[in-house]
Amino acid sequence: MGCSMIHTEPIIAVSNVADSLNWYTRLLDCHHTHTHNEVFDQLIDQDGKILLCLHRWGDHQHPSLEDPDKGQPGNGLLLFFRLDHFDAAWERAQALGTPIEARPHYNPFVLHQEFTLKDPDGYYITICSLRDKQ
C-alpha cells in the first residue's frame, strides 16, 4: 500500500506571530487564514493549501513549543519552499533587508536553483525553483 498522506503542515514557534506573518507573506507572496491572531496563524497558497503554521512560543502546552530557552530555534531544521516564480521571490527576499545566507545558485543534486536566508526567529529558509526537466 502506498502512503496516503497528501502533504505536511509544518509548525514553527515564533516570538511574534504578526511580525513573522508579515515577513513570510512578503517573501512567499501568500495569504493567511486568521485575522489579528497573536497566538497562531496559517500561511496558505492561492489554492488554500497550508504552507506553514506560525505558533507563538509558550501557548497551548505543546512540549516542543513551550520555551525558546530550552533549545535553539532553527537548530536541525531547514524549511524549503518550492516556488514557480523563483526570480520574483529573490527580488522580494532582497527587499526584506534580511541577511542572505546563500545567494541564488544551481544545486545539481536536486536539479534546481535555490537561495537561503534566515527568518526573524533564526530559522533557515531555502527558496527553490521548480525542478529542471531531465
Q: What does the pLDDT look like over 16-73, one tens digit per residue?
A: 999 999 999 999 999 999 877 889 999 999 999 999 999 998 876 666 677 777 776 6
pLDDT at residue 69 in the model? 76
Report the candidate in 13, 19, 39, 16 with the shortest Cα–Cα distance to residue 96: 19
| Least-confidence region, from 2-11, 83-92, 93-102 | 2-11
| Percentage of residues in the chain having pLDDT higher than 70 | 86
Rounded to a whole number, what is the distance in angstroms from the first to the last CA of the chain? Answer: 28
Looking at residue 62, its pLDDT comes to 67
What's the average model confidence in pLDDT over 108-130?
91
Q: What is the pLDDT of residues 70-85, one digit of tens each?
A: 776 666 677 889 998 9
Task: Tell me the sheet residues that pair with 127.
Answer: 81, 115
Task: Give the pLDDT confidence of 99-110 residue by residue, as tens digits.
Answer: 899 999 999 988
Tell me the mean pLDDT in the region 13-18. Answer: 93
CA distance 88 to 27: 9
pLDDT band at 4 (very low <50, low <70, confident <90, very high): low
For 122, phi then psi, to 5°, come to 95, 5
Cα–Cα distance measured from residue 72 to residue 74, given in angstroms and rounded to the nearest whole number: 6
Residue boundaries of the structural domains of the chain: 11-59+73-128
Report domain 11-59+73-128's class: alpha beta
